[in-house]
Amino acid sequence: MKFLDQAKIYIRSGDGGAGCVSFRREKFIEFGGPNGGDGGRGGDVVAECVDGLNTLIDYRYQQHFKAKTGTHGMGKNRAGGRGADVVLRVPVGTQIFDEDNETLLADLTAVGQRVVIAKGGNGGFGNAHFKSSTNQAPRRANPGQPGEERTIWLRLKLIADAGLVGLPNAGKSTFLAAVSAAKPKIADYPFTTLHPQLGVVSVDGREFVLADIPGLIEGASEGAGLGTRFLGHVERCRVLLHLVDGTCEHAGKAYKTVRGELSAYEHELDQKPEIVALNKIDALSPEDLKQQVARLKRAAKKTPLLLSGATGKGVPEVLRAVRAVVDGERAAESGDEEVEAAGWRP
């Protein structure tokens, strides 16, 4: 299945059904009176968050969605039926923007969450609605109201507990494959990863979701490489795991390059908790390892963790450090929710 995290679609809700002009005509009934029914309401366009989806590829092949028109009113005071809704099934983490791609309409973060994007038009009144003592035979009925139409953007931001960031070939995909059942593409050339990957990591009986995104290079915020578009998938992460390639020329400069791109990204990714780790230590001599650790420590202003994704050395310690931060963030969020709930009690 291809990965698609952004789609532009056109939606239109259903028009309301027209009211009916009708009179009761039966044998032996002299003054039957008006009996035209009201029209039915038009169908809505609804976005629903469902389980089992992790891409917006369905909206690559169909971009127009129109709800049904309400049924017109009929004689004998029969009201028209409501038009069928159109339900847009989207994965967890989907954001819905207006046509300008800036105005946020909805953010769907939980399975089962539903939001009406375009409401159907109301049905028109039949002539029975207008009868009165002074107008006993009205010959008018209202047409149904037109539905809403708009163009919207769907943007997927994957929900993960931790996100992997780093330069291309820093060993992010190898690390993800080593700690989870995910099977990302692994090769010895840059930009092997072209779209985000998710993996479920288990450590000491606890689980968390880890996201791997394509590598960042210098100038990514200005469009170099694959740009910073995929950084949206780590916006919701509680912690960033920054992997630095130990075999690169200067570990400190590599670290600062990625941090610069995170700072240039507008959603405060550089403010998130960060764990720094030096990868590929199995390919370094003791002297080179000591030198790279010192460079990275000066740049990051913290002691980096050491690991090798290929041999598994140091991996459990890194996972425990990530899990500790994730658990702390979860506890803080649950505490905030309890405080908010307590504040609303009468």
Q: Which residue has tokens 């630095």? A: 244
CA distance 8 to 261: 27
Would you state the structure tokens that stand for residue 300, as one six-digit string? 């990051």
Q: What is the dihedral of CA 240, 241, 242, 244, to 10 degrees?
A: -170
Beta bridge partners of 89: 48
CA distance 240 to 210: 10
Is residue 266 within 8 Å of residue 259, measured between CB atoms?
no
CA distance 92 to 49: 6
CA dist 149 → 9, 84, 98, 121 (Å) = 11, 16, 11, 11
In the annotated binding site for Mg(2+), the residues are 173, 193
DSSP letter at 81 equals P
Would you state the structure tokens that stand for residue 268, as one six-digit string? 């405060």
In the annotated binding site for GTP, the residues are 166-173, 191-195, 212-215, 279-282, 308-310
CA distance 102 to 97: 6
CA atoms within 13 A on the CB side of 235: 18
Is residue 207 within 8 Å of residue 181, measured between CB atoms?
no
3-state class (DSSP) for residue 178: helix
Would you state the structure tokens that stand for residue 103, as one six-digit string? 């105005």
Instruction: Show the DSSP H helices in 116-226 as ranges.
Output: 172-179
CA atoms within 13 A on the CB side of 345: 6
In the annotated binding site, the residues are 166-173, 191-195, 212-215, 279-282, 308-310
